[in-house]
């Protein structure tokens, strides 16, 4: 009887299994990479929105006297829409005698809302607020 000698090399099943494993590893790697890139883009947008909001807070009350009202606009690249709301925060508090304290200054609350559309087409927003003292309106 003649014995058969096994030839060296890979069988078809071994090659198919190797390709399936390679495809799984590559698809998971690509998913991780693309998710990381999307998160980086979202974080970059949020950082830019914070810069817009902080600059709006810094400008309010610096260029002209504080006054109650709402202003809005867009960033230079038209990607971010902002709204600044200024309102009195002290609203004439009274002292135990019943008279409001007299002062030439008032406390104002400044709220900044910055909105933009993310890469996934969802609406995103950042809100900042601060208090500033300014001259009372006459």
Helix (H, G, I), strand (E, B) or coil at 133: strand
- Domain borders along the chain are 12-135
Question: Which residues 6+ apart lie within 8 Å of 47 measured at CB?
Answer: none
Q: What tokens were used for 126? A: 């950042």
Please count the other Cβ atoms lying within 10 Å of the Cβ belonging to residue 89: 13
CA angle 58, 60, 61 (to 5 degrees): 105
pLDDT at residue 100 in the model: 60
pTM for the full model? 0.69
Which helix H or strand E contains 83, and what residues bound it?
A: strand 81-88
- pLDDT tens figures, 65-87: 888 999 999 999 999 999 999 99
Query: How much is the pLDDT for 63?
Result: 80
**136 or 68, which is more confident?**
68
Q: Report the percentage of the chain scoring pLDDT > 90.
A: 52
Predicted local confidence at residue 38, as pLDDT:
81
Can you tell me the distance from the alpha carbon of 30 to that of 10, in angstroms, rounded to the nearest whole number? 28
Mean pLDDT score across all residues of the chain = 86
Per DSSP, the chain holds a count of helices (H) and strands (E) of: 1, 4
Q: Count the alpha carbons within 13 Å of 49 in the hemisphere toward its beta carbon.
A: 24
Give pLDDT tens digits for 19-37. Answer: 999 999 999 999 998 888 8
pLDDT for the residue 36: 85
pLDDT bucket at 91, cuts 50 / 70 / 90: low
């Amino acid at each position: 009887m003649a014995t058969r000698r096994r030839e060296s090399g890979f069988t078809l099943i071994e090659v198919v299994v190797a390709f399936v494993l390679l495809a799984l590893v590559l698809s998971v790697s690509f998913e991780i990479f693309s998710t990381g890139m999307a998160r980086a883009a979202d974080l970059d947008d949020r950082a830019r929105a914070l810069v817009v909001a902080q600059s709006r807070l810094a400008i309010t009350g610096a260029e002209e006297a504080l006054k109650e009202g709402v202003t809005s606009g867009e960033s230079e690249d038209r990607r971010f829409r902002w709204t600044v709301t200024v309102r009195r925060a002290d609203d004439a508090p009274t002292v135990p005698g019943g008279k409001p304290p007299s002062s030439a200054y008032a406390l104002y609350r400044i709220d900044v809302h910055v909105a933009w559309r993310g890469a996934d087409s969802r609406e995103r927003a950042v809100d900042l607020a601060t208090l500033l003292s300014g001259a009372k309106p006459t």
